Chain A
Amino acid sequence: MIKEGVQGAAAVAEEDPQAQSKKAQKKQQKEAEKAAKKAEKQAKLAGDQKTEEEDDFAKDRYGVAAMVQSQEKMDRSLVLVKDLSPARADELIWLRARVHTSRAKGKQCFLVLRQQQFNVQALVAVGDRASKQMVKFAANISKESIVDVEASVRKVDQKIESCSQQDVELHIERIFVISQAEARLPLQLEDAVRPEGEGDEEGRATVNQDTRLDNRVIDLRTTTSQAIFRLQSGVCQLFRDTLNKKGFVEIQTPKIISAASEGGANVFTVSYFKTSAYLAQSPQLYKQMCICADFDKVFCVGPVFRAEDSNTHRHLTEFVGLDIEMAFNYHYHEVIDSITDTMVQIFKGLRDNFQTEIQTVNKQFPSEPFKFLEPTLRLEYKEGLAMLREAGVEMGDEEDLSTPNEKLLGRLVKEKYDTDFYVLDKYPLAVRPFYTMPDPNDPKNSNSYDMFMRGEEILSGAQRIHDAQLLTERAMYHQIDLEKIKAYIDSFRFGAPPHGGGGIGLERVCMLYLGLHNVRQTSMFPRDPKRLTP
């Protein structure tokens, strides 16, 4: 090897002696010598390593495990990180977790092992269980790799502040890599959970939202994301539980529909064989048809599509709608009461069962606890307008609330009534869809309502027109093609009970409950006019 190098260089020099000056020749020779020295060193190192490997008494205690292809059914129970407590002290356990961070320090290597939102400190130290090589291997495992670890649980004297399991640490006896992560991560988890503003002060990096969303899989591993989506699951569950108790029936409705329910402006058109169809912007028509079919009280959890080209903090083009529709006896306030009670049950359920999650999110995004009244505050649109006018806002009687006014009203209501959740009733008829029932006392008003959380709309609902004649009139007034909604109008011809309902955006509820600032934070894979992936 060494000889070859020198000869090679010499050969080149001989071949073209005139072209190269003496200086260049000298230089080349020097380089050749250098290369030779390097090769020698490497050979020596390899030799050393070999002897080291031979010396390694712990070599079957660590390594990269074979790919799990379900070769064997191992009789090994894996303990969950969240269950690690002083009660299990001195037990020898197996667990599977991700390497969150690792830090080698001489003969020791500290690892933080993470499982979902829980983590624990682990330690590999040179001793009779682990060799020098094993510590080195542990230190070199890339972040986010998944490892199987056998370790004994030890109590610690001083609480480990940086981990969720503060009272114990793990002394690793075996460590195997189950899935290796690439060494370079597109974003660092610590950067992604840093509270807003704190990064700027300490000169540390924060991850902006687009980078997060581009690498959503990694971003979803952060404690904050884990908490948000566990809470979101809780909202759905509480919604279902509460309504089931009230005697509601869960229904599934088609999302490919032949006509838009609220005028064709903001729906997606899809090609449907030889014709075109639309993506449902709400299950409106179908839940009403179920009412006409004697289901009495129905709800539906499913995707809803809006083709609005708005890039705001609270608009998505696809979101999850929680829709309610119910028949009532004499007054549509029965419906409002039923919906507000459902919301209150959800808020209570979250407050009582998801405190850890709420606090985890609060660490990164501080906000005041969500406040609500029981029974829920109900204001009429007129009263809302009066409050705004008193604050100096100029608005027409039949004008819809603009977003800034909506937020301001939320603030005024919070100041006056100390609640983050309220209902605004009796909207002007002009700003509501055609199937909204007009107010019998004032033809300019309607029996419709919006619900607000922290001053932002989460639900829009109304008493619907259950009379085919009036419905046709209103549709014509709104210049809707009667042919296209024939099936809908026809369903009211054969006896339809008075009914009302509303639709809630799941993402918005989660965002506003937690006091977050962007609906993309509460959508797992958000869709907006500019984002279709991941």
Chain B
Amino acid sequence: MALRELASLEKYLGLKKPNKYSSRGDKKIPVLQNNNGPPLVGLVTIARHLVKEAKQPELLGEAAEDRAVVHQWLEYRVSKLDGCNKEESRTILKDLDLYLQDKVCMAGNHFTLADVLMYNGIHPLIMDLTFQEKERYMNVTRWFDHIQHRAGIRHHLPPVVVLRNRIYSAKHP
């Protein structure tokens, strides 16, 4: 899964030559054999490396504050989102919904690597939602729809239909 994700990230970043990855351990942690140095281990580490490779540092955040926020969400992705059960996923969606209430992207107004990785991580959760739930986590759905329609992001993942109108009233869920 993670390998596929990295492959599509490479394509998005416009890297010409695809890297070769292997995975390690029960959790299939991705490993990248680096030509000039020790191997890179872990989704976030490799992803950051790829971004630098592609010379698009703005994807990691421009201001110091943004960089911290991006890093925070990258950590969130691998520590909280990956491998969460159904019950936890509802708490995550609820928290995210609140967080995204006044934001376009994960790190405020600018599209960053955090959006890419969070999109990939949350995709299976969103696929499972009913229309009523998608409406309940409206801000997450809006952000998700925005990201999935960004050129080059979606790749192998199936599109999720998002309604633009509210069909369940707020008063009687």
Contacts and interface: CB of A to CB of B under 8 A. Distances in A.
Chain B's interface: helix, strand, loop or mixed, by majority? loop
Interface residues of A, number: 12
Given A368-B172, A391-B161, 10 more contacts: A366-B172, A367-B172, A391-B131, A391-B163, A392-B161, A408-B131, A408-B167, A412-B167, A414-B167, A415-B165
A411 interface: yes
* For the complex of A and B, 6 pairs with smallest distance between CB atoms: A392-B161, A411-B167, A415-B167, A415-B165, A408-B131, A391-B163
A411 B168 contact: yes
Which of B161, B165, B167, B172: most chain A Cβ within 10 A? Answer: B167
Interface string A361-399: 000001110000000000000000000000110000000
A308 to B, nearest CB: 25
Contacts of A515: 172
Contacts of A392: 160-161
B171 interface: yes
B169 interface: yes
B157 to A, nearest CB: 14
A447 B52 CA distance: 65
Interface string B153-168: 0000000110101111
A315 B167 CA distance: 26
Interface in B125-145: 130-131
Interface of B: 130-131, 160-161, 163, 165-169, 171-172
A392 B169 CA distance: 20
Contacts of B169: 368
Contacts of B161: 391-392
Nearest to A411: B167
B43 to A, nearest CB: 29
Interface string A314-329: 0000000000000000
Contact of A368 (B130, B163, B171): B171
Which of B160, B163, B165, B172: most chain A Cβ within 10 A? Answer: B163
Which of B131, B161, B172: most chain A Cβ within 10 A? Answer: B131
A367 B172 CA distance: 7
A366 B172 CA distance: 8
Nearest to B166: A415
Contacts of B163: 391
Which of A366, A367, A392, A404: most chain B Cβ within 10 A? Answer: A392
Contacts of B172: 366-368, 515
B136 to A, nearest CB: 14
B172 to A, nearest CB: 6
Nearest to A412: B167
A404 B129 CA distance: 13
Nearest to A414: B167
A404 B130 CA distance: 9
Nearest to A390: B161
A414 B131 CA distance: 15
A524 to B, nearest CB: 26
A391 B130 CA distance: 11
A197 to B, nearest CB: 11
A392 B163 CA distance: 9
Nearest to A413: B167
A515 B169 CA distance: 14
Contacts of B168: 411
A391 B135 CA distance: 13
A411 B171 contact: no
Contacts of A367: 172
B12 to A, nearest CB: 24
Contacts of A391: 131, 161, 163
A412 B167 CA distance: 6
A47 B165 CA distance: 80
16 contacts: A366-B172, A367-B172, A368-B169, A368-B171, A391-B131, A391-B161, A391-B163, A392-B160, A404-B130, A408-B131, A411-B131, A412-B167, A414-B167, A415-B165, A415-B166, A515-B172
A211 B160 CA distance: 43
A274 to B, nearest CB: 53
A435 B160 CA distance: 41
Contacts of B167: 408, 411-412, 414-415
Contacts of A404: 130
Nearest to B130: A404
Interface string A391-424: 1100000000000100010011011000000000
